[in-house]
């Protein structure tokens, strides 16, 4: 083959491909917590509608929202999944790139549970226990001293003599934020440590930061991977206690036992009722400018929040999502294409 021929072939290929543009499938990216739900909906959507099955990518809430805010057009994503609400800085970044009309859709709630090996000790935690066990420094007699607890019975005499070994989500996970705020900070406040620091003249922000600082001496291990990695770590070290999503726990009840939090067993019901304290809303965000341009965006969103799917008896609840008690309102938001900041 001569070089001329080769050049001609490559040029032809390049020409054929630059004609690329239009897209007929919905593209979704974002939170790995929302991913399984989005995949379940995409699958049922694809088999029941004439639209192609949406493509769902994971990568994390922040990464998803960043790509969402890259601009409007066919080579940007249509929907971003997020395990936290969009930040105002992200809304500004979106606006700067021309993504002004965003529809916020809350799909339900996700419980965060503490689970350990099925054959190990059972635990009944309070947030205070977790604060005491994992805080980097304790505030004792007006002074911050390094956390020296090594066994759970030092934290709370009712607990067995089991070494403290926690596997918590790494800082890139949205779950970590919820864990810090709803467990560690809450425990710090409940135990009066926060107040004690304020009384000692520490300003509020510093006190909060000190409360939420997690010890780094190896008793608490950040897991940057997924819950499967946390599970593997617990199987290797049966003294470990891990932080999981409720859905993950419910799919692995034969390997894990769940701990109660403030005497409430985490179930979809106790979370929906607001009894179980550690939960957070899950969202997805729709680029309103893509509705009517990319076929199926609105239909997919409407299907996602329909009673058949996101309702208390739907497949998402079966998988572990806590159904939104105000689902009807969410449905109205989607069908009315109510964008954020429009005052409703």
- Contact positions toward another protein, by CB under 8 A? 1, 3, 6, 9-10, 13, 16-25, 27, 29, 32, 35-36, 38-40, 42-44, 46-48, 50, 52-53, 55-59, 75, 77, 118, 225-228, 245, 247-248, 250-255, 308, 315, 318-319
E-strand stretches of 130-203: 137-140, 143-146, 166-169
In angstroms, give the least distance from the CB of 19 to another protein. 5
The span from the CA of 180 to the CA of 194, in Å, is: 14
Please, what is the minimum distance in Å from the beta carbon of residue 170 to another protein? Answer: 14
Cβ partners under 8 Å of residue 68, min gap 6 = 29, 30, 76, 77, 79, 80, 94, 99, 285, 287
Q: How far is CA 232 from CA 20, 111, 290, in A?
A: 43, 21, 41
Q: 299 near 49, Cβ under 8 Å?
A: yes
CB closer to another protein, 18 vs 148: 18
Whole-number Cα distances in Å, 105 to 69, 83, 93, 115: 16, 11, 19, 30
CB of 293 to another protein, least distance (A): 13
Work out the number of other CB atoms within 10 angstroms of the CB of residue 315. 16
CB of 338 to another protein, least distance (A): 26
> Which of 24/92 has CB closer to another protein?
24
Residue 125 Cβ vs another protein, minimum distance, rounded to whole Å:
21
Contact 4, 11 (CB under 8 A): no
Q: How far apart are CA 68 and CA 71, in angstroms?
A: 7
| Closest by CA position to 69, among listed 88, 55, 84, 53 | 88
Choice between 40 and 288, CB closer to another protein: 40
Closest Cα to residue 88, out of 106, 72, 104?
Answer: 104
CB of 234 to another protein, least distance (A): 14
Nearer residue to another protein within complex by CB, 17 or 88: 17
CB of 152 to another protein, least distance (A): 23
Which of 95/118 has CB closer to another protein?
118
Q: Which of residues 48 and 206 has its CB atom nearest to another protein in the complex?
A: 48
Q: How far apart are alpha carbons 217 and 223 in whole angstroms?
A: 15
3-state secondary structure of 206: helix
- Closer to another protein by Cβ: residue 281 or 315: 315
Kindly tell me which of 46 and 281 has the beta carbon lying closer to another protein.
46
Least distance to another protein, CB of residue 123, Å: 17
Q: Which is nearer to another protein, 307 or 326 (CB)?
A: 307
Separation between Cα atoms, residue 69 and residue 202, nearest integer Å: 39
**β-bridge pairing 79-82 and 279-287:** antiparallel
Q: How near is the Cβ of 344 to another protein at its closest, in Å?
A: 30
| SS3 (DSSP) at 102 | strand
């Amino acid at each position: 083959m001569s070089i001329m021929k080769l050049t001609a072939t490559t040029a032809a290929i390049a020409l054929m491909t630059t004609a690329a543009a239009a897209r007929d499938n919905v593209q979704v990216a974002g939170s790995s917590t929302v991913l399984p739900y989005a995949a379940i909906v995409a699958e049922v959507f694809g088999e029941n509608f004439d639209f192609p099955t949406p493509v769902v990518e994971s990568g994390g809430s922040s990464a998803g929202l960043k790509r969402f805010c890259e601009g409007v057009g066919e080579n940007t994503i249509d929907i971003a999944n997020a395990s936290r609400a969009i930040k105002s800085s992200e809304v500004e970044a979106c606006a700067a790139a021309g993504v002004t009309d965003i529809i916020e859709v809350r799909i339900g709630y996700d419980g965060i549970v503490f689970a350990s090996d099925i054959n190990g000790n059972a635990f009944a935690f309070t947030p205070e226990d977790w604060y005491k066990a994992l805080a980097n420094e304790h505030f004792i007699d007006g002074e911050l001293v390094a956390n020296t607890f090594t066994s759970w019975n030092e934290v709370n005499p009712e607990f067995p003599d089991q070494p403290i070994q926690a596997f918590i989500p790494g800082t890139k996970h949205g779950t970590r934020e919820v864990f810090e705020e709803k467990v560690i900070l809450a425990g710090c406040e409940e135990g009066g440590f926060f107040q004690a620091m304020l009384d000692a003249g520490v300003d509020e922000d510093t006190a909060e930061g000190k409360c939420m600082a997690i010890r780094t001496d190896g008793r608490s291990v950040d897991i940057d991977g997924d819950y499967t990695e946390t599970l593997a770590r617990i199987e290797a070290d049966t003294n470990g206690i891990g932080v999981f999503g409720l859905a993950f726990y419910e799919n692995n009840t034969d390997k894990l036992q769940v701990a109660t939090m403030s005497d409430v067993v985490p179930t979809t019901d106790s979370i929906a009722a607001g009894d179980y304290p550690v939960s957070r809303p899950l969202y997805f965000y729709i680029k309103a400018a893509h509705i009517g341009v990319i076929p199926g965006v609105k239909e997919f969103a409407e299907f996602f929040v329909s009673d058949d799917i996101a309702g208390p008896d739907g497949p998402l609840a079966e998988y572990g999502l806590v159904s939104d008690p105000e689902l009807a309102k969410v449905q109205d938001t989607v069908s009315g294409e109510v964008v954020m900041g429009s005052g409703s």
